[in-house]
Amino acid sequence: MEVQALQALAEEAYTFNGDRDRIYLTGLSLGGFGVWPLAMRHPGRFAAVVPVCGWVTQPEDDIPPSETALYNKGNPVAGHPSPFTAAARLVGSIPTWVFHGDNDQAVSVEQSRNMVDAMKAAGGNVHYTEYEGMGHNVWDRAYGDSALMSWLLEQ
């Protein structure tokens, strides 16, 4: 499906004369999780990435064992002894803005905190917004932030 999605994206950029240097990748929740592996596998493809309340590696006790393989499939850092460090190296210098609520009960805020820390340690280009007192649904606020749109257009 990834190959098909990226091919469709390329075709649409061509059909509508899109700027291939300004393709942005964003997703929320499960889509926020999907942002990370795509960015890791295609570091030159996107002008910027915006994962919203996503995760890099979900602790196995947070998901049923029957779904562990599904979440790990295609994740370049699944099972790595230092998954956040490895992920940060693979994402490299892609401009990244991460959003998360500090009271998220669906996806631990530690996932975003750890990834942001790893990206900073690796010299990555990362911004982080953590919404105090907010739970899982931070996407309305994140996507409604005019600073995000301005930032994306700068990339």
Question: What's 54's domain CATH number?
Answer: 3.40.50.1820
**Over the stretch 83-136, which tens digit does the pLDDT of each residue have?**
999 999 999 999 999 999 999 999 999 999 999 999 999 999 999 999 999 999
If one counts the domains in the chain, the total is 1
Domain assignment present for residue 12? The answer is no
Q: What is the SS3 assignment for 121?
A: helix
Across the chain, mean pLDDT equals 90
Could you tell me if residue 73 is inside a domain?
yes
| Domain-located, residue 138 | yes
Stretch 67-95: mean pLDDT: 82
9 lies in some domain: no
Residue 2: inside a domain: no
pLDDT at 39 over 80: yes
Evaluate whether residue 19 is within a structural domain.
Answer: no
Q: Is residue 127 part of a domain?
A: yes
**6 domain residue, yes or no:** no
Report the distance separating Cα 50 and Cα 24, nearest Å.
8
Cα–Cα distance for residue pair 43/58, rounded to 1 Å? 22
Residue count (the chain): 155
Q: Give the structural domain span for 91.
A: 24-154
